[in-house]
Amino acid sequence: MKQSDIFQILLYLVLLIALAIPLGRYMFKVYTGERTLLDPVLRPLERMIYRLAGINSEKEMGWRQYTVTFLVFHVLGIVLLFGIELLQGYLPFNPRQFGAVSPLHLAFNTAVSFNTNTNWQAYGGESTMSYFTQMAGLTVHNFLSAAAGMVVVIALTRGLARRTAETIGNFWVDLTRTVLWILLPFCVVGALVLVSQGVIQNLSPYLDVQTLEGAKQTIAMGPVASQEIIKELGTNGGGFFNANSAHPFENPTPLTNLIEMLAILVIPVALTFTFGHMVGNIRQGRAIFAAMLVLFVLLLGVCYTGEMAGNPQIASLGVSGPSVMEGKEVRFGVVNSALWATVTTATSCGAVNAMHDSLTPLAGLVPLLQIMLGEVVFGGVGSGLYAMLVFVILTVFIVGLMVGRTPEYLGKKIESREMKMATLAVLIPAAMILIGAGLASVTMAGTASVLNPGPHGLSEMLYAFSSQTGNNGSAFAGLTANTPFYDWLGAVAMLIGRFGVIVPVLAIAGSMAGKKTVAPGPGTFETTGPLFTVMLAATVMIVGALTFFPALALGPIVEQLLMLAGKAF
Amino acid sequence: MQKIDSRESFESQRKGDTPLRGMSSTQREISAGRRESLGSAGSAQGSTRGKGGFNSAILSRAVIDSFSKLNPRVLWKSPVMFVVEITAVLTTFFSLRDVVNGQAVWFDAQIAAWLWITVLFANFAEALAEGRGKAQADSLRRARSETLAKKLTGAQVEEIPSSRLRKGDMVLVEAGDFIPGDGEVIEGIASVDESAITGESAPVIRESGGDRSSVTGGTRVLSDWIKVRITANPGETFLDRMIHLVEGARRQKTPNEIALSILLVGLTIIFLLAVATLEPFAIYSGTLASVPVLAALLVCLIPTTIGGLLSAIGIAGMDRLLKGNVLAMSGRAVEAAGDVDVLLLDKTGTITLGNRMATEFVAASGVSPERLAGAAQLASLADETPEGRSIVILAKEKFNLRERDMSGLKAEFVPFSAHHRMSGVNLEGREIRKGAGDAIEKYLGERGGTIPPEVKSAIEDIAKKGGTPLVVAEDVKVLGVIYLKDVVKGGIKERFAQLRRMGIKTVMITGDNPLTAAAIAAEAGVDDFLAEATPEAKLKLIRRYQDDGHLVAMTGDGTNDAPALAQADVGVAMNSGTQAAKEAGNMVDLDSNPTKLIEVVETGKQLLMTRGSLTTFSIANDVAKYFAIIPALFTATYPELGTLNVMGLATPQSAILSAVIFNALIIVALVPLALRGVTYRPLGAAAILRRNMLIYGLGGLIAPFAGIKLIDLLIAALGLA
């Protein structure tokens, strides 16, 4: 392991935490309605939005109303984006004169993808989408789907923090405040910084240039910076270009690479602190953060080690040293590619700066496993923390009994209703991944798309369904994704993976809000110390990972063993 | 602690226990013997209890029951085991098919057999837990046998079978008769043999009015007669309910058990999916996993250990209470006991020995302490109250004043009267009186005497310290004050400190004035006290604690305790108490011993701990089983997967078989633990967690690696696979 690599990783983590702590505090103020610096500008704007939309911002919602509103909002969002895609040919800002996004299953898959914060892209951005679709369709949903995830975790946090309450907040207010106070300001600043580093932002037609060798090349243009920053900040991951953040116009320099990686994790990390503030005990948030960090460092270690060790067969050729540079950008190198891969799949981001298909099997296992765990290692904006809170509930329930009391979290008793919902939230995505990949692996429609034989092909199918169900959106590549089978079933996976978790989570928020709080004392199960952190991490690994261990054994694990034995796929 | 040579006080001190209210010393001795089973700290005797309680009759019955429980309609209630049974059926079917086809069957048949054994072991655990209760129910049923009741209609007595009695009927019960049903004594007084219910052979007194008016059907009047108003229809009596409870026939899952079952079902479904989808993945990889092998993997992964032992743990928890002669009306109550963090304890009998003891003679100026002691002794010789006797004992101890024969002294004893509020003795022209300060002052006032100021200040001093001053006067002269003290039980302070560490707050309830209460509270080390307690004040106190998020346990016996008993999260009614109290509480203590509340709480905690520990153990086990089975499944296709065979198991077959056998054996190995509960220590949550996590979490991770390897060695040695 190189010292400079360790230094880079540490620098990244230190910067990340240093940014997340104040942001966590700031978001706490935003969601509890405390005064912030931006209030003079944003308050009137907020009031105007409510007046135009006819929203009573004073009236809070019970969990059922909150959920229904949430679902209706998403159905409308999908319909709208689907419409824009189909009518693209008639809409402005279309210099390349792209027609409707087709085939139909691709348009639908994309509409679902951007509404569920997945940003699975079965298309190449620069060759399919007009500037209008990119901006009014995709970028808008980059904001809204991110905000929707954050809103859910805030509702859950309120449920845990409140005492015998009927309501968990107002969906419209939470959504509006998330966009206005958190996402927009940071995106404006972030986009400008990216532009300063060379990320493009224009509406000009694509350039046709003559290369040095004399060949003609078309260079895609577009409003990239504005979409780039929310792509990361909202853990969306939908690249403007097909090459995503490996493309020099999206991610030109090591500095932009660092900024973009920070943008991916800063909100998920900050939310753990926001959570601590909201439940009135910052240590509660810190314990969850610590468990996430432990898992993150562990998995990053595996990924980095896998890449550094590389493929012995390539090493024996003596071309580029043992470390694997296939599928990587030279300007990022191994460490930043491994770090990015871990970061992007720890969250539900899915933006990539290197091709995951080319990772060594062991390193490729890490992104896959992180998604399968439910993206709880920091996770997507909002979605990571609420999924982790589901694991917290499971952990508290399983080991909490050992102190001789019925389990409680933050003073709330965990009873059968919460267990039912928590179990569903874990069960539903796991079932979708396994059934989806299982179907793919034994049907022609599934296996025909696979470009690599053997265990690597299995990894590709597993990754496709994990990524979509987990609303990650990163692609392992090596799989022809734009087929009716993968588009339709993938859309279903994304919907189930998103709402199959959110609805139970909101139900937990509702039932927890209504409960009395039990007084803490020396007999109370501690959810703040290092012991809890370890147990939470262990529960995630045991309950989460064991579910997928058989599948993983036949995919990346056996592939790694085969590679070491001299076979590659 | 004051040395006391009264036999029962000594006895109760030794047990760290209290003389029971309303019982003679012989009764106490007997019940002390029975009480032992609950254990002084709920753990020390744990290991002996688990084994000692089973005789061969219970064991053989349990073996038979474990087969009858294979009935799917019964097993359905335990979903995890139900799944195991289905896999067992499937595996058996495939083995038989192989037999018909003339293929090698040895391996599949062994797996099938071990899957059946897994189910049987789980059934056996449950049957064993139920066994003791069933045996007890049988003996209770014998007490319920049909009797004739003497029904009163006006002045007429009509003999009818007890099954025809209805609520509100009046019956006459005379010496030798069985009491035909639960009821309230409305007239008369009788000694009653309640051994059928309490196992207590010494008779108890039941009389109309007051807190000793309730009688239970199936008990027998030994002497005198009583008229009883029946308060329960046949089939709904205390005895009927008790039979149902101990038998566990209508046992309902408790809330936490339901929640845990949901988790277990969820895990089962997840693993079912993981195993079911393994087949398509295997097909893609160009191999095929056989059904028996997949069944083996599934059974190893689903939480069979906790799934198989869950109901046994619950039954055993109630059973442990029952052995301590506490009858929980529902499993929910036992669970709630574990959550309790505030104990309301009656001062008398729980915290103090129950009687005030003379501890000091404070003589007036100019009077020698010997003279005071002598006069006090004379005044108390005929006083058979515990206070009176303690004075005699103290006089003997301090000044070696031997007891004198009353008849030889020609003394005339003046008994205590509510009017004068004094007692004393007249002999040879001397009039010695002892009594409360104001009573003696009045007595002296009539004779032209007063209490000197230094004695008055001594009286105040004693009162401030929580004691009771008893002034002794001879004729018109005040000799001094006897310091009567409420003696706090030995070891109780340490016990409360333990409870505090566990996060349980103790609150002393007493009718004393606040000054006295505060002094005793400080001495006993309780966290809080309620002085001059009325039933309303108690109820208010419980509500206040509950509003602050606490769970409250209390004991009570009187009718006026009923609202508080009902309000408390755990209300333990004394069996000696009234019917109303017993209805209101969710537990009944057949020994009527208020100290037991502490053990009840500990039993509840132990139950929950056992459940949690075995769940953790069960889930942690899965890691090792994966390492046994996954490489075994696919080494044919990918020999490289052999790297995962970290245990170095002999062959794929032996690996799979070892995992299945370990999975079955661990259930039966943990049966004793499930029945007696994990070792309980009165520590804070963090310390308990660290300890249990180490044993059951880390242990659960490591143990199966060793266990499976060992079984594999055996299998290889025996050539089974």
For chains A and B, count residue pairs whose Cβ atoms are closer than 8 Å: 220
C-alpha–C-alpha distance, residues A494 and A119, integer Å: 10
Instruction: Identify residue A69 by its one-letter amino acid code.
Output: T
- Contact between A338 and A510 under an 8 Å Cβ cutoff? The reply is no
Write out the DSSP string of B280-328. HHHHHTT----HHHHHHHHHHHS-HHHHHHHHHHHHHHHHHHHHTTEEE
Does the structure show a pLDDT above 70 at A106?
A: yes
Q: How many residues does chain B have?
A: 721
Q: Choose the weakest-confidence range: B258-262, B351-355, B529-533.
A: B351-355
Nearest-5° Cα angle at A477, A472 to A481: 80
Please give the structure tokens belonging to residue A326: 């296939």
Q: Where are the domains of chain A?
A: 3-564
Q: Specify whether B81 is located in the same domain as B174.
A: no
Domain annotation covers residue B20: no
A418: its two tokens: 């919460």
What's the Cα-to-Cα distance from A186 to each of A234, A252, A350, B206, rounded to whole Å?
11, 20, 20, 81
The response to whether B383 counts as a known ligand-binding position is: yes
A436 with A470: CB under 8 angstroms? no
Closest CB to B262 among A399, A416, A447: A416
Whether residue B525 sits in one domain with residue B453: no
pLDDT for B5: 37
Beta-bridge partner residues of B363: B480
Mean pLDDT of B23-39: 36
What distance in Å separates residue A395's CA from the closest CA in chain B? 10
B274, B608, B641 member nearest A434 (Cβ): B274
pLDDT band at B9 (very low <50, low <70, confident <90, very high): very low
Residue A5's φ and ψ, nearest 5 degrees, are: -65, -45
The token duo for B4 is 């006391």
C-alpha A488/C-alpha B607 separation (Å) is 50
Give the domain range for residue B496.
339-351+489-590
Could you read off the pLDDT of A149-173 as tens digits, one per residue? Answer: 999 999 999 999 999 999 999 999 9
pLDDT of the residue at B418: 67
pLDDT number for residue B409: 67
- Determine the average pLDDT of the residues in A417-424: 95
How far apart are the CA of A543 and the nearest CA of chain B, in angstroms? 8
What is the model's pLDDT at position B310? 92
Residue A1's pLDDT band, with cuts at 50, 70 and 90, is: low
Range of A117-126, A412-421, B643-652 with top mean pLDDT: A412-421
Same domain, B376 and B347: no
Residue A390 pLDDT: 96
State the average pLDDT over residues B349-377: 84
DSSP E strands, A323-462: 408-409, 412-413
Report CA B571 to chain centroid distance, whole Å: 12
Model pLDDT, residue B248: 65
> Which of A59-73, A230-244, A313-327, B396-410 is most confident?
A59-73
Q: Measured between beta carbons, which residues in chain A are less than 8 angstroms from residue B260?
A: 397, 401, 419
Report the range of poorest mean pLDDT among A159-173, A496-510, B409-423: B409-423
Q: Does B544 lie in the same domain as B463?
A: no
**pLDDT number for residue B700:** 94
B506 in contact with A, Cβ within 8 Å: no
Among this protein's residues, is B346 annotated catalytic?
yes
Residue B347 domain-assigned?
A: yes
Same structural domain, B542 and B609: no
Question: By the 8 A CB rule, do B467 and B486 touch?
Answer: yes
Confidence label for B405 from pLDDT (cuts 50, 70 and 90)? low
At B53, the pLDDT band (50, 70, 90 cuts) reads low
Find, among B18, B39, B9, the residue nearest to B594 by Cα: B18
Domain of residue B525, CATH code: 3.40.50.1000
Between B23-37, B93-107, B212-226, B508-522, the lowest mean confidence (pLDDT) is in B23-37
The more confidently predicted of residues A99 and B40 is: A99
Mean pLDDT of chain B: 82
What pLDDT, on a 0 to 100 scale, did the predictor assign at position B573?
87
Residue B434 among known ligand-binding residues? yes
Q: How far apart are CA B582 and CA B578, in angstroms?
A: 6
- B464 lies in the same domain as B508: no
Q: Are residues B520 and B448 in the same domain?
A: no
- pTM, two decimal places: 0.85
CB contact under 8 A, A398 and B619: yes
pLDDT over threshold 60, residue B19:
no
Residues 298-357, chain B, touching A (beta carbon < 8 A): 301, 335, 338-339, 341
pLDDT of residue B13 exceeding 60, the answer is: no
pLDDT, position B154: 78
pLDDT recorded at residue B143 = 67
DSSP code string of B442-484: HHHHHHT----HHHHHHHHHHHHTT-EEEEEEETTEEEEEEEE
Q: What is the mean pLDDT of residues B313-327?
A: 86
Please check the confidence at residue B44 and state whether its pLDDT lies above 60: no
Secondary structure letter of residue A543 according to DSSP: I
Confidence category of residue B642, pLDDT binned at 50, 70, 90: confident
Mean pLDDT of B69-87: 91
Flag whether B298 is in a domain: yes
Q: Is the pLDDT of residue B11 over 50?
A: no
Q: What is the pLDDT of residue A340?
A: 85
Cβ partners under 8 Å of residue B522, min gap 6? none
CB A520 within 8 A of CB A284: no
Tell me the C-alpha distance between A218 and A206, whole Å: 7
Quote the minimal CA–CA distance from B129 to chain A in Å: 21
Biggest CA–CA distance in chain B, Å, is 117
Residue A450 carries which DSSP code? B
> From the candidates B169, B211, B346, B712, which is the catalytic residue?
B346
Do B128 and B271 sit in the same domain of this protein? yes
Examine the pLDDT at B50 and tell me if it is beyond 70.
no
Return the top range by mean pLDDT from A102-111, A205-214, B153-162. A102-111
Closest partner residue to A441 among B280, B548, B688, by Cβ? B280
| CATH number of the domain residue B477 falls in | 3.40.1110.10
Average of per-residue pLDDT across B186-192: 87
Whether residues B628 and B708 share a domain: the answer is yes
Across the interface, which of A399, A551, A553 has its CB nearest the CB of B616? A399
> Cα torsion for A110, A115, A121, A127, to the nearest 10°?
60
Tokens of residue A348, six digits? 């539900």
Q: Contact B387/B484 with Cβ under 8 angstroms?
A: yes
Instruction: Please answer yes or no on whether A397 and B263 come within 8 Å at the CB atom.
Output: yes
Does the structure show a pLDDT above 90 at B299? yes
Closest by CA position to B88, among listed B68, B108, B69: B108
- Pick the last residue of a domain from B233, B256, B284: B233
B69 belongs to an annotated ligand binding site = no
Give the bridge partners for A210, in sequence order.
Answer: A216
CA separation for the pair A242, A467 (Å, rounded):
17
Residue B29 counted as an annotated binding residue: no
Beta bridge partners of B362: B481
d(CA B681, CA B602): 9
Stretch B668-673: mean pLDDT: 93
DSSP character for B560? Answer: G
Predicted local confidence at residue B406, as pLDDT: 63
Range scoring the smallest mean pLDDT among A360-364, A534-538, B96-100, B210-214? B210-214
Q: Are residues B493 and B481 in the same domain?
A: no
Distance between first and last Cα of chain A: 27
Is B3 annotated as contributing to ligand binding?
Answer: no
Whether A445 has a pLDDT exceeding 70, the answer reads yes
Peptide bond into A504 cis (omega under 30): no
Quick one: DSSP state of residue B643? G
DSSP three-state, residue A503 = helix
Give the ipTM.
Answer: 0.91
What's the domain count of chain B? Answer: 4
Lowest mean pLDDT among B129-133, B312-316, B542-546: B129-133
Does residue B41 carry a pLDDT above 60?
no
Q: Are strands A412-413 and A408-409 parallel, antiparallel or unpaired?
A: antiparallel
B426 and B499 both lie in a single domain = no
Q: Are A380 and A429 in contact (CB under 8 A)?
A: no
pLDDT value at B247 more than 70:
yes
Q: Cβ neighbours of residue B383 under 8 Å, at least 6 residues apart?
A: B389, B391, B413, B416, B423
Those residues with Cβ within 8 angstroms of residue B451's Cβ, 6 or more apart along the chain or in another chain: B437, B440, B441, B444, B459, B471, B478
φ and ψ at B618, to 5 degrees?
Answer: -60, -45
Q: How confident is the model at residue A318 (pLDDT cuts 50, 70, 90)?
A: low
User: What percentage of residues in chain A have a pLDDT greater than 90?
Assistant: 51
Binning chain B into helix, strand and coil, the percentages to the nearest 5 are: 55, 15, 25
Neighbours of B341 (CB within 10 A): 25
